[in-house]
Amino acid sequence: MKIAIYGNMYQEDYLNRLSDFLDVLSHSDITVEMESTFYNYLSTLLQKTPHVDGIIAGDDVKADMAISIGGDGTFLRTARWVGMKQIPILGINTGHLGYLADVTVDEMITAVDDLTKGLYKIENRSLIEVTSVRKEAIMDWSYALNEVAILKQDTSSMISVATRINDVDLATYMGDGLIISTPTGSTGYNLSVGGPILEPTAPNWVISPIAAHSLNMRPLVVRDSSELSVTTSSRATNYRVSLDGRSVTLPVGTTIKLRKAPFEVKVVQRMKHSFTDTLRDKLLWGVNSNR
């Protein structure tokens, strides 16, 4: 098995454990390559140079599996690093909540044993592709694994987001913006504005208004085979479109289109892992409070 490792630059609290993890990988029947920036970072802080079989410059990733070391933001960047290559990604959480990167630091060594024995499963997660009305990409990587957010600029003026679904008028959302979330992203920005949680592999999106100026504007679940068309108007001259936190500014009146991407992100899960485990562990569902 060949593994490619990508990580963030905030690992000071876990250096010894990461060193042990890399040692275990090097003594397993696994070929390890590491993204160059992360390799240089660890080389500077560790007492010994990380043992790897190769260093990856840029996004020239060729592996059977990728490992993301960090939080969910790092996992999203790993997904972009892997791109359309359909390489499964295992997330090791050295961040905060870790919905995507759900293997804890304490479980890293056990995870290596599971990988070598094939004791894992793969979930396919859908993405949203965003283009201009002329089918042109709006940024270098115009895909979102979590959500697409249409947001007002830093101004007090609200925005109106006229939304069509499959060329049929849906609604005009007036407020601070609109979120179109994948099932993967339903526990993120969507949840914070009152949107529902979706099972991660459900074939749906959630459309959730942000600070709607009308109480009858509620989150809506639609099929992910739908094509959405969004046109924004405002007293301001520009608005922002954010894809998993990466933003671009567009002129008011610009129409963008959203559809399901032609590829998926493959998420490696432990055999005993389930979506309900995530809800209990991260959102404390089912935990009795003492009064």
Q: Which residues are the active-site residues?
A: 72
Distance CA 240, CA 247 (A): 6
Distance CA 137, CA 124 (A): 23
Distance CA 153, CA 136 (A): 23
DSSP 167-209: TEEEEEEEESEEEEE-TGGGGTHHHHTTPPP--TT-SEEEEEE
- Number of neighbours of residue 91 by Cβ within 10 angstroms: 26
